[in-house]
Amino acid sequence: MAGIGTLYNPPNPAETRILTWRFGKPNSWKIDTYLADGGYQTIMKALQMTQEQIIEEVKVSMLRGRGGAGFPTGLKWSFVPRSSPKPKYIVCNGDESEPGTCKDRLLIEFDPHQLIEGLMIAGHAMGSQHAYVYIRGEYRFLIEHLNGAIDEAYAAGVLGENIRGTGFTFHVHTHSGAGAYECGEETALLDSLEGKRGVPRMKPPFPAVAGAWACPTLLNNVETFSAIVPIIRDGGAKFLSYGVPKSGGTRLLCVSGHVHNPGVYEVPLGMDTMTFINGIAGGVKGGKLKALVPGGSSCPILTAEECQNLPMDYDSVAKIGSMMGSGGMVVMNEHTDMVAVALRIIKFYQHESCGWCIPCREGTTWLKKSLQRYADGGGSEADIDIINELAKNMLGRTFCALGDAAAMPTISLVTKFRSEFIEYLKKPRAAHHHHKHELVGIH
Amino acid sequence: MTFSPALEQRFEKMLKAYPEGKTRSAVVPMLIYAQDETGAVTEELILEVAKRCGVTRLQVDEVVGYYSMLHRKPQGKYHVQICTNISCMLVGGTELYEHCSKKLGIGHKETTPDGLFSLEEVECMGACSWAPTTTINYDYYNHVTPESLDKLLEDLRKANQ
C-alpha cells in the first residue's frame, strides 16, 4: 500500500518545478515546513492588493484552467459579480476522474497548504469567506489528509475569523463525492455539492453568476488554484515566462501506458511532445509509438506522425484538432489494438453518462453496442461509417461536454485508424478475445 | 440510529459546514461515511440521513441510485476494486481483473461465500501513472501484478484465520 508522503515516481531533473518544488521534501504537507518555506506570506501580500490587482495579475499570467477546458482563469475570475449582495463561494474541483489523470491528488498530498493559500487568495479576490473542496470519494485518504492540513491551518491562525488581525475571514471545507465521473463537470459538481444527483445545468446562468446555492461562485481545478500562489508571489509575468505567450506557466503531465518512466511531471507549456516522451517519460516501451492521448481519454487521439514537432500548449494541440485537456497523456505502442482501445473508451463514457441528455445516453449506448460487436468479430466495414456518423451526431447536442467527450475519441479512432479497423475484419473470429466488461451503465 | 462517536462528531461538523439551511448538501458525504459503519445503505440509514439533513426520504433514495460508491447490499470485508480503464488496460489491468475473478471464484459485484472478499471492476481511480491499480477498501495499491495481488489476498486471508 502506498503511504502518505512517499513519491510515486522519482522527479526528473529536466522538470520545471514551480508548483511541485516542495514535493519530496520531508513532511512537505505539514504546516511548519510550509511556513519555513515562506508559506502563507503570499496571502499577506495579496491582502495588500486590491481585488482588481489580483485578477489582473492572474490575467497577465495567462494561466488557463487545468481541469480540461483550458479557459483563461483571469477572465473567469472577472466574471464573478463581486458587487452582488449575495455571499460568494469558492469551489475547488478535486473530482479528478478523467481517465489518464492523476495529478491533483499529488498537489493535495504533497502540498495541501499551497492549495489552501491559493483558495484564500481567490477568496480575497472574490470577496468570499468560504471555499469547498470537492474531492472524489475514492480519494478518501486525501480527504482525511486535507482535513488534517485544514485543522493545522486553523490551529496556526491562518484560517478562521480575522486572520492575523487583517480583518480577513476565510474558511475551507472538504466535500466527498461518491463515485461519478460526471461530477467533474462544473455544473454537475455544483448539483452534487448541493446534495443532488450530479446532472449538468443549463447555461447561462454560468456558475460565476449563479453557482453553489444560486450564489456567485468561482470554480477552478486543484492545479489552477495551486498555481495562484506562485503567480501572486512572483508576479503573473514571471509565471507566464515559463510557458508560451498564450499558455502561461507549467503543467503537471500524467504520463501512463507504454513508456519506460510513467509518472507525473511538471513541465513548461510549449514543450515538444516527443522530447517529453523520449526524455522525461523514458521513451516508448515495447515498440514504436503508435498513438497518443494528449490530455485524458476524451481528447481526440493523435497518431505518431501528429506528435512530431508538436509543442504541448493549448493552442498548438487545438490546432491539430485535439486538446491539452486534463494533462493525462496515454502513450500507446505499435502493438496496441485500436479496436480494443475504442471499445474501452466508449464503455467508460457509456457507464458514466448521467442519462440527462438523450443524445449522450442513447449515443454512448449504441456506440458501445456497435463497437462491442465489432470487437467480437461480428462487424462489417459499413459499421465504421455508422459509428463515425453516430458519434458526429452527438457533438454539441448535450448540456455538458460528456457527449462530446465520448464522441471525439471515437471519431478520431475510426477515422485515423480506419485501415486497422478494416484489417481487423480479416482476422479469424477466434482471434478476437475481448474481455466482456461487466460494467453496466443505465441500460 | 446512532453512529460511532467519531462519526457523530464528523456529522455534527459536516452539517455546520454548509450555508444556513443548506443541510441537503450533507446527504452524499453522510451516506458514504455512514455506510462504512452500517455495511450498506439500508432503508433505516436512508430515513436517518433524511431526518438529519432535513430532506425527504426520496431525496436521499435518488442519490443512492446515482453514485456508484453507494451500495444497498453489503460487500465483503475486503472490497477489491480493479481498474480496467485505458491506462490500466494497456499494462495488464484486464488480465489482472480476470485473474482475480478466477482466483476468488466470483465475478463483478459478487462476494465470496465466507463474506471475506467482494470484487468490482471499476473505472479510472486516478492512479494511471502507477498502473495497474487496485484498491482494497480505501487503500490504493499501485503497479499490481497477478503475483503481488495473490500475496495481498493471501495475507488478508491469513490475518482472518
For A181, the closest of B63, B91, B123 (CB atoms) is B123
Task: Please indicate whether, in this complex, the C-beta atoms of B28 and A192 are within 8 angstroms of each other.
Answer: yes
- pLDDT score recorded for residue A431: 60
- pLDDT score recorded for residue A208: 97
Same domain, B13 and B35: yes
- As given in the structure block, the three cell numbers for residue A176 are 466527498
Query: How far off is chain B from A56, nearest CA to CA, in Å?
Result: 30
Same domain, B60 and B82: no
Task: Please indicate whether, in this complex, the C-beta atoms of A196 and B63 are within 8 angstroms of each other.
Answer: yes
B24 pLDDT more than 80: yes
| Structure letter (DSSP) for residue A401 | T
A434 pLDDT more than 90: no
- As given in the structure block, the three cell numbers for residue A148 are 488534517
With respect to residue B111, please indicate whether it lies within any of the assigned structural domains. Answer: yes
Same domain, B126 and B84: yes
Q: For A403-433, how does the pLDDT look when each residue is reduced to its tens digit (9 = 90+)?
A: 999 999 999 999 999 999 999 998 876 566 5
Same domain, B57 and B104: no
Closest chain B residue by Cα to residue A86: B19
Same domain, B123 and B82: yes
- Residue ending a domain, among B19, B34, B64, is B64
- pLDDT score recorded for residue A442: 38
Closest CA to A208 of A58, A65, A54, A81: A81
Residue pairs between chains A and B whose CB atoms are closer than 8 Å: 168
State percent of chain A over pLDDT 90: 93
Q: For A19-49, how does the pLDDT look when each residue is reduced to its tens digit (9 = 90+)?
A: 999 999 999 999 999 999 999 999 999 999 9
At A436, the pLDDT band (50, 70, 90 cuts) reads low
* Helices A358-375 + A338-352 axis angle, to 10: 150
With respect to residue B152, please indicate whether it lies within any of the assigned structural domains. Answer: yes
- Residue ending a domain, among B64, B89, B108, is B64
With respect to residue B142, please indicate whether it lies within any of the assigned structural domains. Answer: yes
B115 pLDDT more than 50: yes
Q: State which residues form the domain around B30.
A: 5-64
State percent of chain B over pLDDT 70: 100
The answer to whether A439 contacts chain B (CB < 8 Å) is yes
Same domain, B116 and B155: yes
- pLDDT score recorded for residue A435: 58
Amino acid at the residue A322 = S
A227 pLDDT more than 90: yes
Residue carrying the nine cell digits 495579475 = A57
Same domain, B94 and B125: yes
With respect to residue B70, please indicate whether it lies within any of the assigned structural domains. Answer: no
- As given in the structure block, the three cell numbers for residue A59 are 490575467
Please list, in sequence order, all residues whose beta carbon lies within 8 angstroms of the beta carbon of residue A343, skipping any fewer than 6 positions away.
A368, A371, A372, A374, A375, A434
Q: Which CATH number do you get for residue B10?
A: 1.10.10
Same domain, B100 and B147: yes
Helix (H, G, I), strand (E, B) or coil at B42: coil
With respect to residue B91, please indicate whether it lies within any of the assigned structural domains. Answer: yes
Same domain, B60 and B87: no
Residues 406-435 of A with CB under 8 A from B: 435
Q: Number of folded domains in chain B? A: 2
Burial A207-218 (b: 16+ CB within 10 A, else e): bbbbbbbebbbb
- pLDDT score recorded for residue A427: 82
Question: Chain B partners of A195 at a C-beta cutoff of 8 Å?
Answer: 24-28, 53, 55, 59, 63
What mean pLDDT comes out for the span A265-271? Answer: 97
For A256, the closest of B24, B70, B128 (CB atoms) is B128
Same domain, B90 and B130: yes
Contacts by B149-157, CB closer than 8 A, 24 or more apart: B149/B96, B149/B99, B149/B100, B149/B103, B150/B103, B153/B80, B153/B100, B153/B103, B153/B104, B153/B117, B156/B78, B156/B116, B156/B117, B157/B116
Question: Chain B partners of A264 at a C-beta cutoff of 8 Å?
Answer: 129
**In angstroms, rounded to a whole number, what is the distance separating the alpha carbons of residues A279 and A301?**
21
Same domain, B50 and B101: no
A77 pLDDT more than 90: yes
The answer to whether A1 contacts chain B (CB < 8 Å) is yes
Amino acid at the residue A276 = F
- pLDDT score recorded for residue B53: 98
What mean pLDDT comes out for the span B75-87? Answer: 97
B150 pLDDT more than 80: yes
Q: Which CATH number do you get for residue B122?
A: 3.40.30.10
**In angstroms, rounded to a whole number, what is the distance separating the alpha carbons of residues A213 and B6?**
29
With respect to residue B73, please indicate whether it lies within any of the assigned structural domains. Answer: no
- Best residue in A96, A176, A350, A433 for a mutation probing chain B (most B CBs within 10 Å): A176
Same domain, B59 and B83: no
- pLDDT score recorded for residue A428: 72
What mean pLDDT comes out for the span B12-31? Answer: 97
Does the predicted interface ipTM exceed a cut of 0.90? Answer: yes
Q: Which domains does chain A have, with CATH numbers?
A: 31-242 (3.40.50.11540), 250-333 (3.10.20.600), 338-431 (1.20.1440.230)
Query: How far off is chain A from B120, nearest CA to CA, in Å?
Result: 9
With respect to residue B69, please indicate whether it lies within any of the assigned structural domains. Answer: no
A97 pLDDT more than 90: yes
- As given in the structure block, the three cell numbers for residue A315 are 493552442
What mean pLDDT comes out for the span A355-370? Answer: 95
**In angstroms, rounded to a whole number, what is the distance separating the alpha carbons of residues A111 and A126?**
23
- pLDDT score recorded for residue B161: 83
With respect to residue B71, please indicate whether it lies within any of the assigned structural domains. Answer: no
